[in-house]
Amino acid sequence: MKIIIVHGWDFKPRHNWYPWLGVELAKQGYEVSIPDMPNSSAPVINEWADTLAQNSILQKLLLMILQVILPMMMELLNYHLLSMQSSKLQNKSLVPSA
């Protein structure tokens, strides 16, 4: 079985626990790939999808994750951040000036 470990934003395959996990999975007989995703500081979904498609037999599943789930997660994060900003602005207006 082939396992692909995708590093996070602003990371590289050699960062954090990615190499360790790759070694541990390989010891158990898995074929492990940790691709170097392009532009990890400012990811572009199509570039990441292309990179993953080159490394995976589960191309359709990965594309669905990138095209459906990731944008939903980004919208949720954006909503959360906007809510936090709005809350901070409301709190500032309630504090009397000295």
The CATH code of the domain that includes 45 is 3.40.50.1820
Token pair, residue 26, equals 């390989």
One digit per residue, the tens of pLDDT, for the chain of length 98 reads: 778 888 888 889 898 888 998 899 899 998 888 889 999 899 888 898 888 777 655 555 555 566 666 777 788 888 888 887 777 666 655 555 55
In a domain, 91, yes or no: no
Q: What is the pLDDT of residue 38?
A: 92
Q: What is the pLDDT of residue 89?
A: 62
Least Cα distance to 37 among 80, 68, 70 occurs for 70
What does the chain come to in residues?
A: 98
In a domain, 66, yes or no: yes
- C-alpha 85/C-alpha 98 separation (Å) is 23
In a domain, 46, yes or no: yes
In a domain, 98, yes or no: no
**Number of independent structural domains in the chain:** 1
In a domain, 96, yes or no: no
In a domain, 36, yes or no: yes
Q: What is the pLDDT of residue 49?
A: 82
For residue 40, the enclosing domain spans 2-70
